[in-house]
Amino acid sequence: MAQVTSQLTKADAVAKAEQFVVSNGYTHALPEQVSPTLTPESLEWTNDRAKRLAQRFNTLNPKAVGIRRGSLNSPGGWSVCFDYVDVGPGSNTCRVVTMDDAGGHLSVQHVDGLRSYFAGFD
């Protein structure tokens, strides 16, 4: 019998990434919306939860501004981009949340993405 795999839809990937940035403390979310266990970034200077939250808090807008097929380490996965809160008009940088094609292994990439590349939902 063949194994059945279900790929995440574009809309499901966006919803999953939006929940991820809230639950990992990147938005202006209330403390009870933030997970007790934070997913680490690839490069962080502390393991202290309170310090991580202080560095992350309200850095990203909670709504995604674009999605692309493929991600680091998962060509069939998704890359979902978010605007920074304190970025002036005309900025071409964003933060990117990546995941595999099943919606697992979510991570905020350390290196900024190019908004002109990632923005849009087509």
pLDDT tens, position by position, 64-81: 999 999 988 889 999 999
* pLDDT, mean of residues 27-42: 90
Return the H-helix or E-strand segment holding 62: strand 60-71
User: Does the predicted TM-score (pTM) go above 0.75?
Assistant: yes
Our CA angle for 75, 21, 40, nearest 5°, is 75
**Residue 93 · residue 112 · CB < 8 Å:** yes
Structural domain boundaries in the chain? 10-118
